Amino acid sequence: MNNFVWDKDRKSRTGVAEAVFCSHKSHADLQDIIRFNLTSESPVLFTRLSVEQWLALPSELQTQMDYDQCSATALLNFSCELSSKKQVCIVTAGTSDLAIAAEAQRTLAFNGYQAPIFSDLGVAGLWRIMEKIDEIREYKIIIALAGMEGALFSVLAGLVRAPIIAVPTSVGYGVSSEGKLALDSALGSCSPGILTVNIDNGFGAANAAIKIINQFSVD
Amino acid sequence: MNNFVWDKDRKSRTGVAEAVFCSHKSHADLQDIIRFNLTSESPVLFTRLSVEQWLALPSELQTQMDYDQCSATALLNFSCELSSKKQVCIVTAGTSDLAIAAEAQRTLAFNGYQAPIFSDLGVAGLWRIMEKIDEIREYKIIIALAGMEGALFSVLAGLVRAPIIAVPTSVGYGVSSEGKLALDSALGSCSPGILTVNIDNGFGAANAAIKIINQFSVD
Amino acid sequence: MNNFVWDKDRKSRTGVAEAVFCSHKSHADLQDIIRFNLTSESPVLFTRLSVEQWLALPSELQTQMDYDQCSATALLNFSCELSSKKQVCIVTAGTSDLAIAAEAQRTLAFNGYQAPIFSDLGVAGLWRIMEKIDEIREYKIIIALAGMEGALFSVLAGLVRAPIIAVPTSVGYGVSSEGKLALDSALGSCSPGILTVNIDNGFGAANAAIKIINQFSVD
Amino acid sequence: MNNFVWDKDRKSRTGVAEAVFCSHKSHADLQDIIRFNLTSESPVLFTRLSVEQWLALPSELQTQMDYDQCSATALLNFSCELSSKKQVCIVTAGTSDLAIAAEAQRTLAFNGYQAPIFSDLGVAGLWRIMEKIDEIREYKIIIALAGMEGALFSVLAGLVRAPIIAVPTSVGYGVSSEGKLALDSALGSCSPGILTVNIDNGFGAANAAIKIINQFSVD
Amino acid sequence: MNNFVWDKDRKSRTGVAEAVFCSHKSHADLQDIIRFNLTSESPVLFTRLSVEQWLALPSELQTQMDYDQCSATALLNFSCELSSKKQVCIVTAGTSDLAIAAEAQRTLAFNGYQAPIFSDLGVAGLWRIMEKIDEIREYKIIIALAGMEGALFSVLAGLVRAPIIAVPTSVGYGVSSEGKLALDSALGSCSPGILTVNIDNGFGAANAAIKIINQFSVD
Amino acid sequence: MNNFVWDKDRKSRTGVAEAVFCSHKSHADLQDIIRFNLTSESPVLFTRLSVEQWLALPSELQTQMDYDQCSATALLNFSCELSSKKQVCIVTAGTSDLAIAAEAQRTLAFNGYQAPIFSDLGVAGLWRIMEKIDEIREYKIIIALAGMEGALFSVLAGLVRAPIIAVPTSVGYGVSSEGKLALDSALGSCSPGILTVNIDNGFGAANAAIKIINQFSVD
Amino acid sequence: MNNFVWDKDRKSRTGVAEAVFCSHKSHADLQDIIRFNLTSESPVLFTRLSVEQWLALPSELQTQMDYDQCSATALLNFSCELSSKKQVCIVTAGTSDLAIAAEAQRTLAFNGYQAPIFSDLGVAGLWRIMEKIDEIREYKIIIALAGMEGALFSVLAGLVRAPIIAVPTSVGYGVSSEGKLALDSALGSCSPGILTVNIDNGFGAANAAIKIINQFSVD
Amino acid sequence: MNNFVWDKDRKSRTGVAEAVFCSHKSHADLQDIIRFNLTSESPVLFTRLSVEQWLALPSELQTQMDYDQCSATALLNFSCELSSKKQVCIVTAGTSDLAIAAEAQRTLAFNGYQAPIFSDLGVAGLWRIMEKIDEIREYKIIIALAGMEGALFSVLAGLVRAPIIAVPTSVGYGVSSEGKLALDSALGSCSPGILTVNIDNGFGAANAAIKIINQFSVD
């Protein structure tokens, strides 16, 4: 008997397919899940799949999956064409936010949406945002990532019409408290209209963006 | 010389007009702001306008404004027609969340969107949500309010296709910590696609919803 | 002289035998305790016995004990028959909660109670709970485990007559704060009648269940 | 249209009738709820009903209710006979815990259970507990209340066979942090088998006790 | 005998005269201190002197002092001429920060330095800072005040050569935590060179600015 | 030039010799300090000297020192005779507290005081304390150690005339928060007369005890 | 029946008589306790007796008691002669600490010990401590009070042979966190031999000092 | 395309050149940045460059850089002459603060300022500060470092005319909370005029000092 219960109709019910959050999962449980889905042939996204977990998989499973170390994600049974519409873009405050940005980007791709990353636009040098702002304004939704004090969220929200989905990252030290400061800066911002997800939750930000697009594209 | 700088092009720049957050404002500064806007004839929303602040206004200013005590909001120069499209609805876990729900509802109305409130649908009696879920599913965006442990956010997100904008409220005692527990429950939810704003921030939730609708209605 | 004082009459005084919590114990102290109990022939449960601690034991001690790596528990002088009555069941929100669920299950078994585990019933897909709820309702006490935002506790308590013993687990990241969020969700729940133990304390939950059954079976 | 949804079958579903938590409720909503229940004639318990809220009720409603200021509770349509069986007793560390103890006692009485209070048995003078311990041991479940450092929970749990339902109270100052210290002492206790509810939640403790008795009395 | 010990050589030793922090002081102690200094004729600054404390003073003491309610400060034996050099300016994110800005301004004036306030330059409308930035750049030191998420500190530090002395204010709600969020944003900023003082500590910021000017003007 | 400044008259000034807290010290700095003191021939106590640090010392230094791994302390130039008077004893709640108890014991020995350890007297089995209480009462000062919920401090203080110096230890998990819970239990105790030191600070407790004895033995 | 249990042999058992902590006590319970002790004629100390509680007492009880508003204490059946020996002195960092200093002083007086207060010796002007240090050194135990950052504790402990009993006070704002900062400074001090009690706990500090003196004076 | 955007005019805009904070950066991104700057020949400072990161660099890059392990900094294209003026000095409470002191010193050197370190002047032995105070007073700005309870900041600020830039360090254990206690002590100090940066942020302190000197040397 399996330890897991597969939520096979989640996509039809909520608009996004069930993904597998691999942290805390044993090697045995992970293999069971992969084999179950290989059989069912439904596309699956694996997130937080560490290099250790990946290397522990038997090679016959590895060869079936598309693994990306930077974002710690893997795709199974994936064959999606990416839309070329300018729906979502991803903005990061620094290069240290790129792993989480990649998690969001891969999650969007897995659902058919291409999303470019504008990286290293921290507010310590405002001209960097200003140089890119017209390009950024072409997108309907912005996923923004920042660690440290997270001032990027407030500045960006004052410059664009798009809703900002803020992803606080655990970049920084001391008072940054593993992302807690950037999280609170997003929530307590003086700029209205910022929406927030958990620290380092690129996956959740992408899901919310997909839900929004789904809702309005069926119009 | 005024103590304030009016952000008169905010609407064209970000899609939402500047609103006045009245907490911590002196009576003198508030009156300056109201008079300034009476002259300019542009519509303004005042939030967190306490009964004390309201009563301290001269009656010639009061008569120009539409004040609502429950939501602690006032409208100035407002003459908007409400859209009858089913864009946003508001769901609350308990009757104690109604003041914040009303802040969100008034903010939406000020921007032209009618949003019904489905109240008292806490998860302690799941049948209450289930009885309304089909009606709720007709809306493109759901603003959900809950205090205490905020379990409503996770349950709702598993039942609908719409993105959830979670507004944690400061209802509860002890470990609820003035809304902190409900906030973290929204952020740490096992259901993907929940977006969160600050505690008791009905205004912010409404703003985000408006930004989303604005972005996609120009399609 | 030993560093420990054996509480040999704890079972008659409180209804549960003294168990040995192995974290922070030195190898020497652990061996002293095992040898002391081998001589006395009384049954003993060892909890939080890490693989490192287990491997450091001399093989003549290992062969006397029944060690289970998943739950990190070991039994000594154990020869109990399990009751087939439907007294307690264990429900988990995800597969990541299974190690702590196993600690509870082994503790119950050590005291003569068989307890099945219903796993992966998180609220993101309510149908998973609903599918099992009738089976769960047959038990007099429910031990429920959840990490992340711990919404399972509130939902379950609204569906059953049994008291819920909530075991928050340290599953999750960011705001989940090593189980602190799930703990507070159990304590601050809108559903009355939830009882809570420390984070990851499957042993304590089982003990409380045993005390309840003991009290009422002597009726 | 009412702002509330009455959970009329809660008793049959969960074993305890819905009670009304009056904090944060407006006077208007409270009166609606009372009138609704006067009509339906079902028994209702009101908790956290402050003197201010009570005095604001019209006298024709007051005369229908049994209000107790110490416990801040009121009963409506109540006509229950109290069982004389020794099921639950209540133990307090100090006289300052009596208001919350009374909330638990009234909740139990509302459900038909008489529960005596043993007050002022704090551990600074152990002889006070020892003098009463044999009497306390006659009860099947113990609801224990303590503020400050909450050492009573651990001491009591080591002396009795009954499960302890710990109610941390917000008595104390400085590091006691409004009950947070006593709460954590209950959860982190070295004595196994303690079950905990939210700070000052006498109502929740009584509910859990009732659920336990209900489950086992149908045996 | 007095309860206080007057630090009469503090000015010569540290460059700033001793000021009297009036919070928590009894009326009797306050009057003793004022009378002591009236006799000595040395200039004294009183901070956090509440309206209640001010009104409780005998009128013969009130007439000797220059009280300002907005900043809650009073001057005694003050007869300083203000320097017209552009040494320090004060920048606020919102009008709600003005009371603390005034405390800084009065402290500077008491020490001979005139400092203009540029108010309401929050980052939600970047053009407001940009419009004033050239004027701000003429000052050698900038005292910046912001509550909520404190993004102003980071943006300003990236635009000017002057050191920023950040004064986080207790403006905001929810996650702003009485100024804690703005404080941490100043400390954890991605822009180097920001210096921070306690929440609402306009006095301390002014003192530090004075010490800097003193040190370098003796060059 | 050395990086350290030796406080050579600390003993005459404060009654206790300077000890060297080795955490965070580099190997080079440690060796400089040892060599400096070998030359001066004054007795020195090294605390928190990890096994790694000890093994990194050249053997010609090791042979001059008396190292104890359990307490992580080393003595240099030590030749003290221990007083046989019953001045201080050490009581622990569990065997896991023994390393910190040993730090206190070694510090006392280094200053000439013999102090026995009464171990494993946690309150879950009160009879263990009661069995030893008469023996414990013979000492003038009690150093008590407990982790988890630290209930031992309150119980002990209610049973003896001696002042209790509480040393909270970082034993426990979840809400025990690395000793924070036991610390607050000591500070917030309902039993008056408990004095507290930092978490795991056996050295500080011993120092305070020595200061007390010194003060009163010169009587 | 009384709600309280009088610990009449506490003095003989622990060396200090039971005192009555009046916070959270109802007027009725307070009067019961006073009348009970008037009859028994044993001396009693009442602490944290607010002006409101004092004024609510019937005048026939007031005339039997010695109430002091500054320290919020009252004495009943008190007739003690004060020892003129230099056992304990009290040192405060500022005049704002005087209320808590008075609580300690009254508690000591109630037990027969006279203790002078050296006030306003904060470290911002070190000469103030240095001027008094020889006088302070004549006492065997020092009770030190400080709020804000509590640096006084560390400085004093480095200057004297006496043990320091630190009483952190809730003086300060922002990061001082109602005394939490001064508390942690006492516990985390770089000067060994500081002993700490709860925030604002002048009573507890005095009790500990009395226990120490009692223990050593029976020598 | 690079992941980073080089802020090449930061020096002219803010007075300090952009430095590279190496924590969380991948080896690939680090090499890209170094190569980019080797080409541009502009001087660059690398901070928080761990030994692991340093050893992972190709030797042709290593030979171009001046790496210092103690401060974890590296200089590229650096050829600055150090000013011999007494502008800034660095004071540490203990030898454990030296790594962060070195980070500040290297950052100052990189910008042309020589700054001596006065180490191990903790307040437990005040004579150590007093012995050096006249030498320290010769500098215009003092960067002070302390961990544990951070009392050095308050004492130093009371003794000198120079502004203090406090750098709290993560030295200590238990309540020191990784530098949080020292940070709050700097912010909540009773001595006015202390300015604070993030925990362990020697780089930030140096930057602020440089900004101050720059501003006033152009006078």
Quick count: other Cβ atoms within 10 Å of Cβ B86?
A: 13
Q: What percent of chain E has pLDDT over 90?
A: 80
pLDDT of A8 > 80? The answer is no
Could you list the beta-strand ranges (E) of chain D.
20-21, 44-47, 65-68, 73-76, 88-92, 117-118, 141-146, 164-168, 194-196
CA atoms within 13 A on the CB side of H45: 25
Answer yes or no: are the C-beta atoms of H210 and H148 closer than 8 Å: no
Å between B7 CA and nearest CA of chain A: 11
pLDDT band at C218 (very low <50, low <70, confident <90, very high): low
Residue of chain G whose alpha carbon sits nearest to that of E169: G174
CA-CA distance, E209 to H195, in Å (whole number)?
Answer: 10
Q: Structure tokens of C59?
A: 């093989």
Confidence band for C219, pLDDT divided at 50, 70 and 90: very low
Q: How far apart are CA H164 and CA E197, in angstroms?
A: 11
Tens digit of pLDDT for each residue in B145-169? 999 999 999 999 999 999 999 999 9
Beta bridge partners of G47: G21
Residue B122 near residue C188 (C-beta atoms within 8 A): no
Return the residue of E nearest to B2 by Cα: E119
Residue A93 neighbours by CB under 8 Å, 6+ apart: A120, A121, A122, A123, A144, A145, A146, A147, A148, A150, A152, E190
Q: Residue E1: is its pLDDT beyond 60? A: no
What the block records as the tokens of C119 is 């796993």
Upper half-sphere CA count for residue C175 (Cβ side, 13 Å): 27
C81: closest CA of chain B, how far (Å): 38
Burial string for F1-12 (b: 16+ CB within 10 Å, else e) reads: eebbbbbeebee
Q: Which of E16, E161, E204 lies at the smallest CB-CB distance from H15?
A: E161
Alpha helices by DSSP H, chain F = 10-14, 27-40, 51-55, 59-62, 98-110, 126-136, 151-157, 180-187, 202-217
Instruction: Give mean pLDDT, residues G1-24.
Output: 82
CB count, 10 Å around CB of A213?
23
pLDDT on residue B179: 97
Q: How confident is residue H218, by pLDDT bands cut at 50, 70 and 90?
A: low
Question: Nearest CB to F188: which of D122, D149, D189?
Answer: D149
Strand partners, F196: F166, G196
Least confident of D74-78, E175-179, F81-85: F81-85
User: How close is the nearest chain C Cα to the Cα of F59, in Å?
Assistant: 27
Q: Is the pLDDT of residue A219 over 80?
A: no
Locate A29 and state its tokens.
């449980």
Burial of B11 (0-12, 13-18, 19+ CB in 10 A): middle
F219 — pLDDT class (breaks 50, 70, 90): very low
Q: Sorting pLDDT into bands at 50, 70 and 90, what band is G41? A: confident
| Residue D83, burial from CB neighbour count under 10 angstroms (0-12, 13-18, 19+) | middle
Strands F194-196 and A194-196: unpaired
Task: Give a three-class secondary structure readout of F41-72.
Answer: CCCEEEECCCHHHHHCCCHHHHCCEEEECCCC
Which of H64, H43, H44 is closest to H54 using CA atoms? H64
Give the pLDDT band of residue A65 (cuts 50, 70, 90).
very high
Where do the DSSP E strands lie in chain C? 20-21, 44-47, 65-68, 73-76, 88-92, 117-118, 141-146, 164-168, 194-196
Residue G165: phi and psi, rounded to 5, are -100, 110
Instruction: Please give the full DSSP string across G48-73, using - where no structure is assigned.
Output: S--HHHHHTS-HHHHTTEEEETTTTE
Distances in whole angstroms, Cα of residue A75 to Cα of each of A66, A109, A111, C154? 5, 10, 11, 34
Rounded (10°) angle between helices A98-110 and A202-217? 30
Q: Which tokens go with C156?
A: 């379950």
The verdict on H137 touching A (C-beta cutoff 8 Å) is no
pLDDT at G151 over 60: yes
Question: Which residues, at least 6 apart from A175, have a Cβ–Cβ distance to it below 8 Å?
Answer: A181, E184, E187, E188, H183, H198, H199
Average pLDDT of chain F is 93
Measured distance CA(E111)–CA(E206) in Å, rounded: 9
- Matching residue, tokens 């920084």: A172
What pLDDT sits at residue D201? 98
pLDDT digits (tens, 9 = 90+) for H40-72: 888 899 999 999 999 999 999 999 999 999 999
Distances (CA, A) of D44 to A117, C48, D17, D18, H119: 58, 46, 7, 7, 70
Please tell me the distance from the alpha carbon of residue G35 to that of residue D61, in angstroms, as a whole number: 39
**Cβ burial, residue D43 (10 Å; 0-12/13-18/19+):** middle
The Cα angle at residue F82 between residues F76 and F88, in degrees rounded to 5 = 110
User: Which pair of tokens denotes residue H24?
Assistant: 């969380």
Instruction: Report the 10 Å Cβ neighbour count for D62.
Output: 14
With contacts defined as CB-CB under 8 Å, which chain E residues touch B198?
173-176
Closest CA to F187 of D59, G168, H98: G168
Which residues lie below 8 Å from residue F26, measured CB to CB, with a gap of 6+?
H98
- DSSP class of A82: P
What are the tens digits of pLDDT across the range D32-66? 999 999 998 888 999 999 999 999 999 999 999 99
User: Residue length, chain D?
Assistant: 219
Contact status, residue F12 vs residue F37, Cβ threshold 8 Å: no
In a mutational test of the E interface, the residue from H187, H189, H191 whose CB has the highest number of chain E CBs within 10 Å is H187
Partners of H204 on chain E (C-beta within 8 Å) are: 192-194
Number of neighbouring beta carbons within 10 Å of residue D140: 23
- Alpha helices of E41-95 — where are they, by DSSP H? 51-55, 59-62
Is the CB of residue E91 less than 8 Å from the CB of residue E121? yes
- Lowest-pLDDT choice from A132-146, D68-82, E188-202: D68-82
CB contact, 8 Å: D163 with chain C?
yes
Question: Beta-carbon neighbour count of residue D129 at 10 Å?
Answer: 21
Quick one: pLDDT at residue F81? 84
User: Which positions in chain F touch H125 (Cβ < 8 Å)?
Assistant: 5, 7, 10, 13, 18
Q: How sure is the predictor about H11, in pLDDT bands with cuts at 50, 70 and 90?
A: confident
- pLDDT in the model for residue A46: 96
What is the 8-class DSSP label of residue C87? -
Spatial separation of the C-alpha atoms in residues B46 and B66, rounded to whole Å: 10
Best CA proximity match to G47, nearest among G16, G18, G26, G80:
G18
The chains in contact with chain B, meaning 3 or more Cβ pairs closer than 8 Å, are A, C, D, E
User: In this complex, does chain G touch chain H, defined as having at least 3 beta-carbon pairs under 8 Å apart?
Assistant: yes
Q: What is the DSSP letter of H161?
A: S
d(CA B118, CA B91): 5
CA distance D180 to D182: 6
Whether the per-residue pLDDT at H219 is higher than 50: the answer is: no
d(Cα A177, Cα F47) in Å, to the nearest integer? 30
Q: Indicate which of B83, B161, B169, B219 best probes the interface with A, i.e. most A CBs within 10 Å of its own CB.
A: B161
pTM recorded for the entire structure: 0.95
Q: Under a CB-based contact definition with an 8 Å cutoff, are residues E117 and E101 in contact? A: yes
CB B191 within 8 A of CB B161: no
Hey, how many other C-beta atoms are within 10 angstroms of the C-beta on F47?
23
Query: Would you give the end-to-end CA distance of chain E in angstroms?
Result: 43
Query: Cβ separation of A29 and C120 shorter than 8 Å?
Result: no
**C-alpha neighbours within 13 Å on the C-beta side of residue G11:** 11
Tell me, yes or no, if E95 comes closer than 8 A to chain B by beta carbon.
yes
Of the candidates A30, A107, A21, the one whose C-alpha atom is nearest the C-alpha of residue A62 is A30
pLDDT tens for residues E29-59? 899 999 999 998 888 999 999 999 999 999 9
**Distance from C-alpha of C99 to C-alpha of C103, rounded to nearest angstrom:** 6
Q: What is the DSSP letter of E65?
A: E
Residue-wise pLDDT for D63-95, tens only, equals 999 999 999 999 998 877 888 899 999 999 999
Is A194 within 8 Å of chain H by CB?
no
Cα-Cα-Cα-Cα dihedral of B5, B6, B10, B16, to 10°? 120
